[in-house]
Amino acid sequence: MDAVTYPDENVARFIDQHMIPLRLQSDAQPYAADFNIKWTPSIITLDAEGREHHRTLGFLAPEELIPSLLLGIGKSCFDTDKFDKALIYFDNLLTGYPKSDSAPEALYLQGVCRYKSTKDPKPLKEAYESLDKKFPSNQWTKRAYPYRLL
């Protein structure tokens, strides 16, 4: 990641604008034990209280790291019931990186956020239909499968 991803201008700008990066050796204690680090690179998105909301393991190219970080921030907002804020991050991911590996999960969570904000099940069905069209064999499409009945 040091040779390709981190030096990328877009990655550096994104991290500077949206994250508080902390880089540690993979065996740095007590963090390696506290966060169950077994391989490098491990990128963990934490909230202000230090709770984990998203983790990536292994190399990611620049065009995959930014969407993964957007997903992590969105999941942090989702997990803390800040659904409107989470939607901003999921929308940015889906607009800017619609074919990324993070897009299906963002699309799924986008539907869940909209449902939780409105209590209207229609966004869940729409999320499934969009997942089925764009990512028919993805695990997030399979997880959304029951929503087709709504």
How does pLDDT run across 2-48, given as a tens digit for each residue? 888 999 999 999 999 999 999 999 899 999 999 999 999 999 999 99
Are the CB atoms for 131 and 122 separated by under 8 Å? Answer: no
Q: Nearest Cα to 96, choosing from 149, 1, 24, 18?
A: 18
For residues 58-64, average pLDDT: 95
pLDDT of residue 4: 86
Look at residue 3 and tell me if it is in a domain: no
CATH code: domain of residue 61: 1.25.40.10
- pLDDT for the residue numbered 130: 98
Q: pTM of this prediction?
A: 0.94
Per-residue model confidence (pLDDT) at position 59:
95
Tell me whether residue 127 is in a domain: yes
Q: Is residue 106 part of a domain?
A: yes
Q: How many domains does the chain have?
A: 1
Cβ atoms of residues 129 and 119 within 8 Å: no
Is residue 111 one of the residues assigned to a domain?
yes
C-alpha pair distances (Å), 99 with each of 20, 96, 105, 123, 130: 26, 9, 12, 21, 13
Residue 2's pLDDT is 82
Structural domain range at position 42: 9-149
Instruction: Measure the CA–CA gap between 150 and 146, rounded to whole angstroms.
Output: 8
Predicted pLDDT of residue 9: 95
Residue 1 lies inside a defined structural domain of this protein: no
Let me know if residue 4 belongs to a domain. Answer: no
Task: Answer yes or no: is 74 within a domain.
Answer: yes
2 within domain boundaries: no
Question: What's the average model confidence in pLDDT over 129-140?
Answer: 98
